[in-house]
Every structure is written in C-alpha cells, then in structure tokens.
Copies of this chain bind each other. A is one copy, B any other.
Amino acid sequence: MGYKPNPLVTANMAAMRSGRRHITVEAILAYFYDYANGTPYTLPSLKGARGRAAELGFALEAFPYNDPDVTPRRLLSILRNRNIQGILIGESQIPIPHIEFEWEDFALVSIGYTLQSPRVDRIGFDHAEKLSQLFQDLSIRNYKRVGLAMSSDLDNRVSHSPTASYLSYQFEQHSSDKIPLFLERDRWNKAAFLEWFHRNNPDCVVTVGNDAMNWLIDEGIRCPEDVGLFSIWAIEGEPPQNHSDFNVSLELLAKTAIEELADRLNSNTRGIPLRRLSILLSSDRVYRHSLRPVAANE
C-alpha cells in the first residue's frame, strides 16, 4: 500500500517470519505527565493505557514533561536513546497552556480537552451528544421542570457542553417560565443551591459530582421520590453514589488513545497535525435509582 511501513512493525514481522517467534522487538511508548502531580502510577489513564499497550505489544513508560532538572532537549535525547516513537500526553484537571518539546519525530495523542498547545489529536467523550440524548430522555420520563446546577469550573473544563446542551433543550421547550441556570463559582455551596432549588422548584436536577445530592439528602429531600437527579459524571476522588450518570472512565479513554497511537505508528504519522482531530467516544448512560422510570403508557 502507499504507507511507509513502520520499521518496528517490519522488524517484528521479519523476526516472526524467520521462525524466531519468541524474539520480539519491544517498542516503548512514552506517557507524558505533569511533574507537579507526583507519581503517575496511580492514574487510571496510565493503568488503562498500559494494559491496552501491552495487548498490542508495546511497553508504556511514564516521563514527566516538566521535570525542572530535565531540559526538553535532555528529555528528547532520553526518548531517542530508548527508540521511543510514540507519546501519549496524559490528562490534566487544569488547563495546560503549553508543553515545550520537539514533537516532530513522534506519533502523538493526548487525553482530554485541557492541553492547549501543542494542538495534537485528542481523545475525549462525546458529551454534547450524550447530553442532548439525556434531555430528550428526561422528557420521556415526564420531567417538566429540569434544572441545571453545577460549578462553572466544571462546565469550563468540558468546553461548556453542559450549559450549551441545557440552553438548547430549554429553548426547544418553548416554556415561558424558564428555570435559570445555577452555574456558580464562589456561590457553589449548600445555602445558595438550596435557595435556587426552593425558589425554582425543579422536578429534576442535572448536575456534576455528588454535592447537589448530598445537599438534598441533608434537607430530607428524596431522589427520585421528591426530585429526579442525574449527575453527568463523578468527580475524581468522590465516593461513588447511587445516582444516575454517564459511564465515563479515563481508563477507557486511555485504551482508545493507545489504539489511535498504534494506528499513527503503523501509518508513520508523526508530529503536530495540520488540522487537529478530536476523537470523541460514545459513553453509556447508567440509570441507577435517582430518576423515575419511563411510564408504561407514555
């Protein structure tokens, strides 16, 4: 085919063909992470990426991209000495404005939406699609007054897709009595949330994380008996709850990221792309016990 064959693949296939089936040329991929976060080996994305890499015949090793004692030039030389040809840039909770490195010779993929520069291909979840389906589904469950309550920082992190989807849903409702968004930064607290809740009387709250549910439980308000609740995703480190959510896992994103990286190695696609691809994975909605069921005759 028109592809330039990848030398590692070719070497491995040659070894296979010559009958030395147990001699494999092990290819190493790099996992780039923020030095400030300390050890990356507990990160779910590294775990998921390592597992899938191993299945595809790669070893994955973690390197901090901003170790103060290692210049970008030194890091490049380390990667070259190890014959590393692919880099997975791990996820970050906060925006990364820029990573200084010579990217040209490497196949590249990043996890999530927080890396701003370089503009490499990135893997994320298809929040916009799932949110739009969610609001349709809440209508089918006969919720009439759905409110959105979340911290504005979390909305920022996913390119405002929760607010955009909610406002679009609200627009389609053609209701004259619209519930205002509770999208707060400094006022993301129990008192302000409950004030918003009691003033607007939603029959279902869409949120992120556990705060809203905990605040409702503290007030003796029950889900789904008194109000429906859907938490778009769980916040890392919070204990798992019994509310409905999207099944989004960084492990799954990382597996897909490794597959994409392997594809780029196979097709010898290197460096920062002319046009970045955003590769969005469908997630499942998981209904636990915080929404009422779909009525049989509706």
A residues within 8 Å of B by Cβ? 1-3, 5, 8-10, 12-13, 27, 55-58, 119, 126, 128-129, 132, 159-161, 163-165, 167-168, 171, 181, 252, 256, 259, 262-263, 266-267, 275-283
Residues of chain B contacted by A280 (CB below 8 angstroms): 277-280
A267–B259 touching, CB < 8 Å: yes
Residues of chain B contacted by A58 (CB below 8 angstroms): 1
Residues of chain B contacted by A163 (CB below 8 angstroms): 168, 171
Residues of chain B contacted by A164 (CB below 8 angstroms): 128, 164-165, 167-168
A56–B1 touching, CB < 8 Å: yes
Shortest Cβ distance from A110 into chain B, in angstroms?
A: 14
A275–B266 touching, CB < 8 Å: no
Residues of chain B contacted by A55 (CB below 8 angstroms): 2
The chain B residue sitting closest to A264, CB to CB, is: B263
Residues of chain B contacted by A168 (CB below 8 angstroms): 160, 163-164, 167
Shortest Cβ distance from A290 into chain B, in angstroms?
A: 24
A1–B5 touching, CB < 8 Å: no
Shortest Cβ distance from A176 into chain B, in angstroms?
A: 13
Shortest Cβ distance from A196 into chain B, in angstroms?
A: 16
Partner of A263 from the list B13, B119, B160, B267 (CB cut-off 8 Å) is B267
B3–A266 touching, CB < 8 Å: yes
Q: Identify 18 residue pairs between A and B in the complex whose beta-carbon atoms are under 8 Å apart, listed by A's number.
A: A1-B12, A1-B58, A2-B55, A2-B56, A13-B13, A126-B278, A128-B164, A160-B168, A164-B164, A167-B171, A263-B263, A263-B266, A263-B267, A266-B267, A275-B281, A275-B283, A277-B280, A279-B279
User: Which 9 A-B pairs give the minimum distances between C-beta atoms?
Assistant: A167-B167, A1-B57, A164-B164, A263-B263, A2-B56, A164-B168, A2-B57, A278-B280, A275-B282
Shortest Cβ distance from A85 into chain B, in angstroms?
A: 12
Shortest Cβ distance from A45 into chain B, in angstroms?
A: 17
In the complex the two chains form, what is the Cα distance from A56 to B3 in whole Å? 6
In the complex the two chains form, what is the Cα distance from A23 to B126 in whole Å? 44
